[in-house]
Amino acid sequence: MSLATDIKAGAAYVELYTKNNRLNRGLAAAQRRLRAFGASVAGLGKKIARAAAVAAAPLLIGGKLFADFEHNMARVSTMLSAADMKFMPAFRKSVKQLAIETGKSLGDITDGLYDILSAQVPAQRALEVIRAATRGAVAGRASVKDTTAALLTLMETYGDQFRNAGDASDFLFQIIRRGRTDMEQLAPAIGAVIAIAKQAGLSLEDMGASLALITRATGHTERSIVALKSITMTFLKPAKEGARLWKDKFGTAMNYATLQTEGMVSVLKKLNTLNASEVAQIFPNKRALTGLLPALAKVKDFAVDLAAMKDRAGATDEAYKKMANTMLHWVGRAKQVAIIAFVAIGEAIHEPVIKAFKAVIKYGKMVIDFISRNKKLIVAIMKIVVVAGLVGVALIVVGTALGHPDQLAQCERAGV
């Protein structure tokens, strides 16, 4: 009887064990399928998130680029009267077209346009000037802002001697061609001498030819500009001994009228008949001598420089065409096309983004107002958070101690 009972119990155990194993295997398989399903769902979620991020990138980039462009154009508009605001659509369109045509950045062009309007150039002429400045900047590998500054100073000082802004740009290029300088160096520095040269009676062509001659002789743009400035200032206010020596040598007064009537070519030829000591006596300013003495050694070419200043038409266009045929120029243009495409995307989402930010500000103000009116509640929440944090830390410490047998034994020995 006992044996039969044992056999039945054993059989029941085997059957139960077998069924249990089947159940375990079934549960394990179900868990594997569940994990696989979870992994596939997570993978799909990651793919969707990545796709959303890729799709959002052009929107974010476009939004930022349009915001910058919009800000720059708004800055330009601050230079316009209410009546001249009608030019803004044309300005926006032309700035983009110039960027695509020349490869110059939207920011550089809008900076130049702002300076043009700031200089009180009439709005209807501003596009002509910015176009000349932008093409000149490409031809001379300079910034539009610097080239604009040079053109503005030239036109403000010698405006009656230029047909238009393009003519002023051609004049700058003739100085570059005949001298040892470039637009990047010349454009931001030439303003320092133009006004003084005009006040001293120097004609436009004389000023340009003199600058070309001195830069060619010294090889240093800024030093040459300072030297020419010092030379012309000497004619405005000559030293007594120098004026006396000039009078003794040449029989005329050394003043504004001499420079205006005789021109720089005559002055240089006269000075070339003197020795270095006599030249230094007439021009005691060391900065004048650093440019004048080297220039006197090359004075025979001054007539060619002068002729080049007069025969300047087309100088910028010729240089621009050469620079526009380079790979770097085409890369720059392609870059601006891409940027302006993103700007168009930013412009398309402009209104809904503004609405979203207005909503954020509106509800943000409500939150700020709520906090301001419920400071005690905020303090109470802070206390709860601090207490909860301390309790959490205490639980972590206890749990960590209970999870390590050695630490638990130490607690038992200590009677804890």
pLDDT in tens, 95-105: 999 999 999 99
Give the range of the structural domain holding residue 358, as residue numbers without chain letter.
353-413
Average pLDDT of the chain, as a whole number: 86
Tell me the pTM.
0.77
Give domain status of residue 345, yes or no.
no
Same domain, 321 and 357: no
Same domain, 362 and 215: no
Same domain, 288 and 402: no
**Does position 116 have pLDDT exceeding 70, yes or no?**
yes
- Total domain count, the chain: 2
Same domain, 217 and 364: no
Which positions ≥6 away from 323 have C-beta within 8 Å?
A: 138, 139, 141, 329
Same domain, 233 and 373: no
**Does position 93 have pLDDT exceeding 80, yes or no?**
yes
Give domain status of residue 32, yes or no.
no
Same domain, 251 and 142: yes
Give domain status of residue 189, yes or no.
yes
pLDDT > 90: what percent of the chain? Answer: 50
How far is Cα 36 from Cα 34, in angstroms, rounded to an integer?
5
Q: Which residue has the higher pLDDT, 203 or 18?
A: 203
Same domain, 212 and 96: yes
Same domain, 100 and 183: yes
Which positions ≥6 away from 289 have C-beta within 8 Å?
A: 227, 279, 280, 283
Same domain, 269 and 408: no
Sign of the alpha-carbon dihedral angle for 125, 131, 134, 140: negative
Same domain, 315 and 363: no
Query: Phi/psi of residue 351, each to 5°?
Result: -65, -50
Q: What does each C-alpha distance from 108 to 99, 156, 206, 212 come to in angstroms?
A: 9, 22, 32, 27
Same domain, 287 and 364: no
Q: What is the pLDDT of residue 59?
A: 79
How far is Cα 53 from Cα 48, in angstroms, rounded to an integer?
9
Name which of 257, 258, 289 is nearest 275 in CA terms. Answer: 289
Least confident of 21-30, 46-55, 358-367: 21-30
Same domain, 229 and 369: no
Neighbours of 46 (CB within 10 A): 10
Neighbours of 178 (CB within 10 A): 23
HSE (side-chain half, CA atoms, 13 Å) at 186: 29
Token readout for 219 is 């090889």
Write the single-letter amino acid at 276.
A
Token readout for 150 is 């040079």
**Which secondary structure element, helix H or strand E, spans residue 61, and what is its range?**
helix 2-77
Give domain status of residue 340, yes or no.
no
Q: What is the pLDDT of residue 396?
A: 82
How far is Cα 28 from Cα 34, in angstroms, rounded to an integer?
10
Which positions ≥6 away from 8 have C-beta within 8 Å?
A: none
Name which of 224, 220, 231 is nearest 264 in CA terms. Answer: 231
Q: What is the pLDDT of residue 206?
A: 93
Q: What is the pLDDT of residue 217?
A: 92
Total number of residues shown for the chain:
416
Q: Hunting for tokens 């207490």 — which residue is that?
A: 387
Q: What is the pLDDT of residue 393?
A: 85
**Does position 408 have pLDDT exceeding 50, yes or no?**
no
Give domain status of residue 41, yes or no.
no
**CB-CB contact of 194 with 162 (8 Å):** no
**CB-CB contact of 73 with 92 (8 Å):** yes
Write the single-letter amino acid at 285.
N
Give domain status of residue 336, yes or no.
no
Give domain status of residue 11, yes or no.
no
Q: What does each C-alpha distance from 175 to 238, 297, 325 come to in angstroms?
A: 27, 19, 23
**Does position 362 have pLDDT exceeding 60, yes or no?**
yes
Q: What does each C-alpha distance from 138 to 277, 295, 313 come to in angstroms?
A: 44, 30, 17
Give domain status of residue 108, yes or no.
yes
For the chain, helix, strand, coil in percent to 5 are 85, 0, 15
Helix ranges (H only) for 219-349 are: 221-236, 240-250, 256-271, 276-282, 286-296, 302-310, 315-324, 327-348
**Does position 34 have pLDDT exceeding 50, yes or no?**
yes
